[in-house]
Amino acid sequence: MMREWMARQTKANECMKNHVVELEQKINQGLRNRQAIIENLERQFKFLTRRINELNSIDGVGIGKMKKDIKKDDMGVPKELNKEWKLNEKAVPHNKEVYHYV
């Protein structure tokens, strides 16, 4: 009778040990997944902030990556035409007063 009880206790202890090991493995796997997600988000954040800064600098309202200083007259109007408003000579070679929007 004592041997049967010891056998049941040993079997129960082994089941508990296996259960604890399985839980530890699940926790470790979850932590690795979370860490991978966090690292991926950090990488995406760095890429997107760099891209946003580049786009803002192209628009002229950003961090100033464009080095060209736009000259303006007394009223604050740029002296140069915008890049979009440049004369398309192929479309209208005879009339230099007509601007085409690109």
- Per-residue HEC secondary structure of the chain comes to CHHHHHHHHHHHHHHHHHHHHHHHHHHHHHHHHHHHHHHHHHHHHHHHHHHHHHHHHHHCCCCCCCCCCCCECCCCCECCCCHHHCCCCCCCCCCCCCCCCC
pLDDT tens-digit readout, 32-63: 888 888 888 898 888 888 887 777 666 555 45
pLDDT tens-digit readout, 66-97: 555 667 777 777 666 555 555 555 554 555 55
Residue spans of the domains in the chain: they are 2-68
Instruction: Give the per-residue pLDDT at 64.
Output: 47
State pTM to two decimals.
Answer: 0.36
Looking at per-residue pLDDT, the higher value among 75 and 27 belongs to 27
